[in-house]
Amino acid sequence: TATQKTVDGPSAKDWRGGRAVNGNIIPSSTGAAKAVGKVIPALNGKLTGLAFRVPTNNVSVVDLVVRLEKSASYDEIKLAVKEASESSGLKGIIDYTDESVVSTDFIGNPASSIFDASGGIMLNPNFVK
């Protein structure tokens, strides 16, 4: 974010916003959940979120936790996302990887979202992270 300080200093918005970005992970607010609700009205008001500002070159991460209405295994979820990423409607919007990647591996990827198959956790048949 362009407003994050490179050295500690005052911030009109909040105390953490005045802290230096280099060497810090800075919790912050985000409008991403609200934006998703505008794009996908069925999700409006059902999402919340926060951001962590970290000293990386580019890209960001979403740690999505979902309560499923219908039970599913993690393999079923991965297959559904992989198939969606290859479908004509979502190809180029959602990408899928099962490789051991880090943030710089995503620089230049044109997809809006990349599902990291190795990054998920099945907490129970109706709760997945």
CA 119 to CA 101: how far, in whole Å? 10
Provide the percentage of residues in the chain whose pLDDT is more than 70: 96
Ranked by mean pLDDT, the top range of 2-11, 25-34, 61-70 is 61-70
Tally of domains within the chain:
2
Q: Quickly list H helices, 8-100.
A: 32-39, 74-86
Q: How far apart are CA 11 and CA 19, in angstroms?
A: 8
Q: Are residues 85 and 41 in the same domain?
A: no
Residue 30 has pLDDT above 90, yes or no: no
**Which residues form the domain of 22?**
1-55
Q: What is the CATH number of the domain that holds 93?
A: 3.30.360.10
Statement to judge: residues 121 and 65 lie in one domain:
yes
